[in-house]
Amino acid sequence: MAQAKKKSKTLKKKSGTKKGSAATLSFSTLAGKAAYDALLSQAKALGAPPVSRVPPAIAAANVRTTCKALASHLKSASKIAPGVDAKLLAALPAIASAFDYAAKRIPKEASDGAIARALAVVAPLRDATLHALDAAVFCGLVDAGRVLAIHQGTGKLDMANDAVAIAGVFAEYAGTLGGKHPFTGEQIETLRAQGAFLQGVLKPGGAPREKKARGPEATIKDQFGALLAKAYGQAEQLGAAVFGARAFHAHVPPLQSIERRAKKKTPAAPVAPTPSAPPA
């Protein structure tokens, strides 16, 4: 009797579905940092792939469309298309989310527009605060040499240096100057922060510094881009098997494609018939 029970249990174990098997397979719901952390080692294993040019938002939209089209076929993916890596395909939404998260971690390069906006903020604020320090020097409230040094030099980078130096004087003499000038702490901090930004992106002569080499964050983004392309390839392979090689892109759009909706044509207004002229 005991042996019969053991055999019964063994049969149940053999016939039972294992966790993570095809019968329980579904698209991952991991997103953001959780997806990034879970998939980072898998992405890094791809080495140094080419720069990914896929816009994360477009990739995410196409991944959503694809997952919706293939959701009912995922569990039987290996049977429908034997070469498909169903486990990698199931991770597709998480990979797309991790790719987006990785792209957002890349420090932004300073554009010409950002530099111009910072200069537009710094220039008038620098002039106004420097005039205030001139008045403070006249009244003997701050060191004249410090303020005189700020007046020296010209150009965009010098303006940035002035902004940081002026903010430093206001901070150092806060106790002396408190209540004796019209500027808010937020204005002084804006002057300092924008000046520091310009110091980092301008070189002598006022021209922007050369772009830095791609950092580790950009490399990781490219690795996730390569992993995304690999997983999306599995989706295309399954899509071709399900919908046909010629029709599957209607359900599984190319990863970088943008859906263009046809404009609805407005029907022309009916033309009223021209009344015939009365007989002469």
Q: Pick the residue with more confidence: 239 or 11?
A: 239
Q: Is the pLDDT of residue 9 over 50?
A: no
Summarised one tens digit per residue, pLDDT across range 152-211 is 999 999 999 999 999 999 999 999 999 999 999 999 999 999 999 899 888 776 566 566
Q: Which residues contact 239 (CB under 8 A, 6 or more apart)?
A: 66, 69, 70, 248, 249, 251, 252
The pLDDT assigned to 12 comes to 43
The pLDDT assigned to 128 comes to 97
Nearest Cα neighbor of 149 from 130, 128, 124 is 130
Q: Is the pLDDT of residue 61 over 70?
A: yes
The pLDDT assigned to 257 comes to 86
The three state secondary structure string of 239-277 is HHHHHCCCCHHHCCCCCCCCCCCCCCCCCCCCCCCCCCC
Indicate the SS3 state at residue 6: helix
Q: Is the pLDDT of residue 5 over 90?
A: no
Q: Is the pLDDT of residue 60 over 90?
A: yes
Q: Average pLDDT, whole number, for the chain? A: 84
Euclidean distance between CA atoms 274 and 31, whole angstroms: 65
The pLDDT assigned to 57 comes to 92
Summarised one tens digit per residue, pLDDT across range 226-237 is 999 999 999 999
Mean pLDDT of 87-93: 94
Q: Is the pLDDT of residue 263 over 80?
A: no
* Phi, psi angle pair for 171, to nearest 5°: -70, -45
Residue 265 pLDDT level (bands cut at 50, 70, 90): low
Lowest-confidence pick of 18-22, 26-30, 45-49, 120-124: 18-22
**Are the C-beta atoms of 203 and 157 separated by less than 8 Å?**
yes
Flag whether the pTM goes above 0.85. Answer: no
| CA dist 31 → 60, 106, 176, 207, 208 (Å) | 11, 18, 52, 40, 37
Residue 127 pLDDT level (bands cut at 50, 70, 90): very high
Residue 260 pLDDT level (bands cut at 50, 70, 90): low
